[in-house]
């Protein structure tokens, strides 16, 4: 039985969310109207998972989350609006220790919660399995090592030959994992880095800006045809896919409508297969990190079979060990590494 605490100041949202989980036989659901009530309920009821709204009176969701992670850490799934402000607050919540988030399809009070029901249930079930002690130790270790990023090198003129590409796929827990991989890379990292992070479109631009501020490589969201350059990382735009293509001036990344043949977007499988069409597999490195499902496992296993190199995140640091586990199961991982070791290995391989 999973004990779930639903925290939302909207009675309508509490009723909608409560109905979803109360109809399932393995959930026991309780409710709180704001952050102050939530903290009391966490202390008294010791829920296994909390769904937490961000905008609430008396005590907002971010303040409540920081208290939960300090006093009684447990998996928290944020319920967020699809606004730019909501995206910024959600990414801050993930930095504070939230496991995942679910966007409300219609803003603050959603009458269409059924549209996200399956995704919500899957994320709460996955959150119930997260080992918070390991997660928080990794997060605090990153915070202790953080320093101001070195000045970014001026990018080379667009065009020319790219020696190779790093292809990263990540989903649930991804922002925290990317915090461990992109900021440590040197500003003169020789290969462009492309990232598919499963996120809505309103979130990926905010994610790119936050990572750019923390990193020595330049980090940008791919919103149109974008020439690939060393010393840069490219975040796929949410709710779409990202492909690699060749132009007379060199390789580019470009957003394309999400494929109905793929379950998750931006699709990691689609990015990796497109890269193999335009570059020798031996010049490609695939990295598959934390996330539900198996997006990227098929393509990266094929990449390794054709001479590329691959890394799967180790279970000990993954928030949800789904995608990297499937890559390992297929025999597609050259190396299995904790997330904090990935950047160093990329530096070694690229050198």
Tell me if residue 4 falls in helix, strand or coil.
strand
Whether the Cβ atoms of residue 230 and residue 161 lie closer than 8 Å to each other: no
Mean pLDDT computed over 186-207: 96
What is residue 160's predicted lDDT score, i.e. its pLDDT? Answer: 63
62 token code pair: 């971010």
From 8, 53, 81, 198, the catalytic residue: 198
Strands 240-247 and 250-257: antiparallel
pLDDT band at 157 (very low <50, low <70, confident <90, very high): low
Task: Round to whole Å and give the CA distance between 203 and 211.
Answer: 12
Helix, strand, coil % over all residues of the chain, rounded to 5: 40, 25, 35
SS3 242: strand
Cα gap 112→105, rounded to integer Å = 7
Q: Kindly report, residue by residue over 130-145, the tens digit of the pLDDT.
A: 877 555 555 544 544 5
Q: Which residues of 133-146 are buried (b: 16+ CB within 10 A; e: fewer)?
A: eebeebbeebeeee
From CA 231, how far away is CA 205, in angstroms rounded?
19
State pTM to two decimals.
Answer: 0.90
Nearest Cα neighbor of 183 from 210, 153, 203 is 210
Res. 147: pLDDT tops 60: no
| Average pLDDT over every residue of 42-71 | 95
Task: State mean pLDDT over 232-247.
Answer: 97
Among the ranges given (19-33, 75-89, 206-220, 277-291), the one the predictor scored with the smallest mean pLDDT? 75-89
Summarize pLDDT for 309-333 with one digit per residue, the tens. Answer: 999 999 999 999 999 999 999 999 9
Quick check: 179 and 142 in contact, CB under 8 A? Answer: yes
- Point out the least confidently predicted range of 148-157, 291-300, 333-342: 148-157
pLDDT at 191 over 80: yes
Q: Identify the weakest region by mean pLDDT among 8-12, 39-43, 152-156, 287-291.
A: 152-156
pLDDT tens digits, one per residue of 65-91: 999 999 999 999 998 876 778 899 999
- Is residue 295 flagged as an active site residue? yes
CA distance to 2, 3, 120, 121, 218, per residue, from 25 (Å): 10, 12, 16, 12, 48
Domains and CATH numbers, the chain: 2-130 (3.40.50.2300), 165-350 (3.40.50.180)
> What confidence score (pLDDT) does residue 140 get?
46
- Confidence tier at 106 by pLDDT (50, 70, 90): low
Please tell me the predicted confidence (pLDDT) of residue 213. Answer: 96
Q: What pLDDT is attached to residue 137?
A: 52
CA-atom Rg of the chain in angstroms: 20
| Mean pLDDT within 208-230 | 97
Q: Residue 131 has what pLDDT?
A: 73
Residue length, the chain?
351
The 10s digit of each residue's pLDDT in 270-293 is 999 999 999 999 999 999 999 999
Give the CB-side neighbour count of residue 293, counting CA atoms within 13 A.
19
Alpha helices in the chain (DSSP H): 11-22, 35-45, 61-71, 84-96, 117-127, 132-145, 174-181, 201-214, 268-278, 297-305, 323-329, 342-350
Give the closest residue to 85 by CA, choosing from 205, 248, 198, 225: 205
> What are the start-end ranges of the H helices in 46-131?
61-71, 84-96, 117-127
Catalytic residue among 80, 81, 110, 171: 171
| Mean pLDDT rounded to a whole number for the chain | 91
* Backbone phi and psi for residue 346, each to the nearest 5 degrees, phi listed first: -65, -45
DSSP label of 215:
-
């Amino acid at each position: 039985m999973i004990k779930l605490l639903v925290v939302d100041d909207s009675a309508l949202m509490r009723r909608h969310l409560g109905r979803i989980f109360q109809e399932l036989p393995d959930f026991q659901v309780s409710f709180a109207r704001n952050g102050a009530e939530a903290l009391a309920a966490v202390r008294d009821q010791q829920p296994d998972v909390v769904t937490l709204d961000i905008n609430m009176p008396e005590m907002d969701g971010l303040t409540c989350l920081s208290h939960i992670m300090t006093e009684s850490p447990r998996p928290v799934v944020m319920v967020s609006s699809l606004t730019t402000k909501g995206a910024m607050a959600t990414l801050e919540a993930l930095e504070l220790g939230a496991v995942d988030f679910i966007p409300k399809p219609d803003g603050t009070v959603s009458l269409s919660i059924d549209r996200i029901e399956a995704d919500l249930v899957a994320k709460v079930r996955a959150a119930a399995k997260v080992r918070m002690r390991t997660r928080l130790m990794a997060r605090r270790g990153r915070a202790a090592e953080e320093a101001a990023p070195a000045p970014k090198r001026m990018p080379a003129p667009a065009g020319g030959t790219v020696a190779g590409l790093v292809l990263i796929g990540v989903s649930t827990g991804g922002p925290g994992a990317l915090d461990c991989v992109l900021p440590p890379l040197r500003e003169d990292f020789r290969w462009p880095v492309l990232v598919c992070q499963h996120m809505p479109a309103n979130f990926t631009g905010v994610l790119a800006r936050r990572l750019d501020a923390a990193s020595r490589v330049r980090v940008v969201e791919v919103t149109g045809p974008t020439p690939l350059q060393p010393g840069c990382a490219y975040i796929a735009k949410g709710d779409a896919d990202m492909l690699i293509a060749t132009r007379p001036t060199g390789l580019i990344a470009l957003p394309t409508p999400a494929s109905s043949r793929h379950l998750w977007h931006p699709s990691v499988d689609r990015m990796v297969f497109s890269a193999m069409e335009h570059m020798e597999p031996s010049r490609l490195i695939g990295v598959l990190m934390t996330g539900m499902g198996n997006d990227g496992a098929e393509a990266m296993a094929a990449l390794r079979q054709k001479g590329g190199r691959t890394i799967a995140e180790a279970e000990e640091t993954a928030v949800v060990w789904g995608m990297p586990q499937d890559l390992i199961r297929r025999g597609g991982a050259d190396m299995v590494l904790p997330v904090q070791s990935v950047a160093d290995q990329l530096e070694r391989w690229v050198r």
